[in-house]
Structure formats: C-alpha cells, structure tokens
C-alpha cells in the first residue's frame, strides 16, 4: 500500500529542538492490546481499549497496529504505493528506516480531509514468525504545541518489534449465543470476526462465506442520530455495491438503543449476490458498536435469523450501571 522516497522538510529540521524528539530517556516498553507488536514510547502515549494501539494528546498522534501472517508481507511490496494513491493519499514516498535490519517497508503520506491534513507514517515488517502493519497518524485538529514530528515518528518506528506472545486484553463485550459460528480472529485489537464452525467441504468457486463481525467505533463521542448513522454505515460498505435496504427496526440490546437494518448487495470481490444484516448499538460510554452479518443471498433468510439471535445476545463486559 505505499512506496517512494521522503524529503526532510524545513519544519522537520526545526522540530529537532522539540522535547518529543528526545524521548528515549523517558520512553517505556509497551505492547499493543491483543497484539504481538511492542513499542518504546514516551509516557504521553496511552494504550487504547477500542483499537490495538496508543494515543498521545500531547503529541496529537495516534498509533494503530494490525497483526498479519508472515506471508502477507509480500502482498505489500509491489502494490502498497498504488493502493494508497488510489485511496486519495498524496505525497506518497518510501524511505529507508535506519536502525532496522529486518524485512520492512516504511512510507510517508498525507491525507486531506474536510477537517484538515493528516500526516501518515506507515511501517510494514516481518520476522521469522509473523508480520505487522503499524500506522502513526498526526492529527492537526488537536492544536497541540509540540506535534509529533517526522523525525519523532521515525524514532518510534525504528524500535518497533514483535513479541513471541500476544498481549491479551479483556474485551468490552461478549456473546451468550454463537450458534453455528465460532470466533476466528481479532483485527486491530478490537474487531472480532466469527466464521462457521463447519464450513462447506466443497464450496462453489465464487462463494461469499457467511461471516459475523463485531466492531467498536474508534470515536468516543456520544452518538447522535442513531438511525442516520446506521443508514450511512450501511450505504458505505466498501466491499459491496448495489446495496438495497429491505427492512429497518429500532431495538434494545443489553440496555442500549440500537438500529437494525437488513438488505441485499453484490460482493465486489466475486460479483455474487449477498444479504447483509447490520445493527448499530449506541454505547452509553461514547461511540457505538457495529454488528454485521453477511451470507450468500440464497442462504440469507436462514442466516438472518442466526445473526439476529447472536446480536440479541450481545452484552457489555462491564454493565452500564457500573
């Protein structure tokens, strides 16, 4: 997803005098939640429960981690830059990252949004067992006095490593009913994917696997307009096209207000028709939980009942009253 050569701008040179660039003496070793990825970070960076990574208000920076199988590394080498450009990133450049002797790719890019420009620092690396993708985003909206600089981001990424053990962290939620599904994997420390316990032995060549996914929002802001949020999220599925709503309903799950939708679409990866179920639950502590079930359209009536039952069994690990 990224490649090129980076220039050190004048502002980066000026940043050499800022405290963030001399954090080694007060850095501490931390491992991202539900991840193998380890960091040496300044005290201002705090671990996050809604994603695998860290946030520093002082530096206006967010670090996000994605654990990958070792073989996934090769998929990045030839197309990373092109994919970032296709997603609207600018100034995409690749540079060597001094201090690393492993297989790695380091990139800088800029993302332009309606609320401002974001600087992105991206590292993909691997060891003999696994790989990882680390992104540092510097957020200009924070209006901090000493934002994390280009040199500071490189210092952090030069020291990132992989542990032999995953750092376990308690989930914010659990299901009391999983039916014919089992938990398969965790992405970015918080998104959980459930797959069939007994998948078809010989599925068709073009086949959309039934999947059930739970993803907490990254934002902690109180959700307003639950119905509109649900509709917007449903309309913006990047993996599907021709999305058409069939049914909508207001729900209550474990004391939380929710908005459920079901519909049909075409899976972009194989052009096969699918059914989609989505439930958005307003988290009383801020943000929301997005619950999604997808299955081939011919089987969707059956799986829709299963998805609704699974969603109804959703519970917060810490009750709302506490």
Domain residue ranges of the chain, discontinuous segments joined by +: 10-162, 173-316
CB 192 within 8 A of CB 174: no
Q: Give me the pLDDT at residue 147, please.
A: 82
Beta strand pairing call for 37-41 and 28-31: antiparallel
Please answer whether residues 264 and 275 qualify as being in contact, where contact means their C-beta atoms are separated by less than 8 angstroms. yes
Could you confirm whether domain 10-162 is CATH 3.40.980.10? no
pLDDT in tens, 47-100: 887 678 888 888 889 999 988 888 889 888 878 888 888 888 889 898 889 889
CA angle, residues 251, 181, 291, in degrees to nearest 5: 30
> β-strands 181-187, 191-196: how paired?
antiparallel
- Mark residue 254 as left, alpha or beta (left: phi above 0; alpha: psi -120 to 50; beta: remaining): left
Do the domains 10-162 and 173-316 sit in the same CATH topology, yes or no? yes
Give pLDDT tens digits for 214-255: 988 877 677 788 999 999 999 988 889 999 999 999 999 999
List the single range of 76-85, 91-100, 190-199, 283-292 with lowest mean pLDDT. 76-85
The class that CATH gives domain 173-316 is alpha beta
Average pLDDT in the chain: 83
Q: Cβ(277)–Cβ(136) under 8 Å?
A: no
């Amino acid at each position: 997803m990224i490649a090129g050569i980076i220039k050190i701008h004048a502002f980066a040179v000026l940043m050499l005098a800022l405290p963030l660039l001399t954090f080694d003496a007060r850095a501490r070793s931390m491992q991202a939640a539900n991840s193998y990825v380890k960091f040496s970070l300044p005290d201002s960076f705090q671990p996050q429960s809604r994603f695998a990574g860290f946030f520093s208000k002082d530096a206006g920076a967010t670090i996000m981690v994605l654990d990958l199988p070792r073989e996934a590394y090769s998929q990045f080498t030839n197309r990373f830059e092109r994919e970032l450009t296709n997603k609207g990133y600018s100034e995409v450049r690749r540079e060597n990252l001094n201090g690393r002797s492993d297989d790695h790719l380091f990139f800088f890019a800029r993302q332009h949004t309606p609320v401002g420009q974001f600087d992105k620092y991206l590292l993909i690396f691997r060891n003999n067992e696994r790989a990882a993708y680390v992104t540092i985003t510097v957020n200009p909206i924070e209006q901090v006095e000493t934002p994390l600089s280009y040199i500071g981001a490189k210092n952090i990424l030069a020291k990132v490593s992989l542990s032999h053990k995953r750092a376990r962290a308690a989930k914010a939620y659990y299901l009391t009913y999983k039916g014919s599904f089992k938990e398969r994997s965790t992405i970015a420390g918080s998104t959980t994917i459930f797959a069939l316990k007994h998948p078809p032995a010989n599925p068709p060549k073009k086949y959309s696997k039934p999947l059930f996914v739970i993803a907490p929002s990254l934002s902690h802001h109180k959700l307003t307009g639950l119905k509109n949020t649900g509709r917007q999220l449903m309309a913006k599925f990047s993996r599907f096209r021709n999305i058409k709503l069939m049914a909508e309903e207001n729900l209550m799950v474990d004391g939380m207000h929710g908005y459920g939708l079901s519909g049909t679409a075409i899976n972009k990866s194989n052009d096969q028709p699918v059914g989609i179920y989505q439930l958005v639950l307003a988290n009383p502590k801020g943000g929301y939980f997005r619950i999604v079930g997808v299955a081939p359209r011919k089987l969707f009536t059956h799986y829709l009942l299963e998805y609704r039952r699974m969603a109804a069994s959703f519970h917060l690990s810490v009750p709302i009253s506490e």
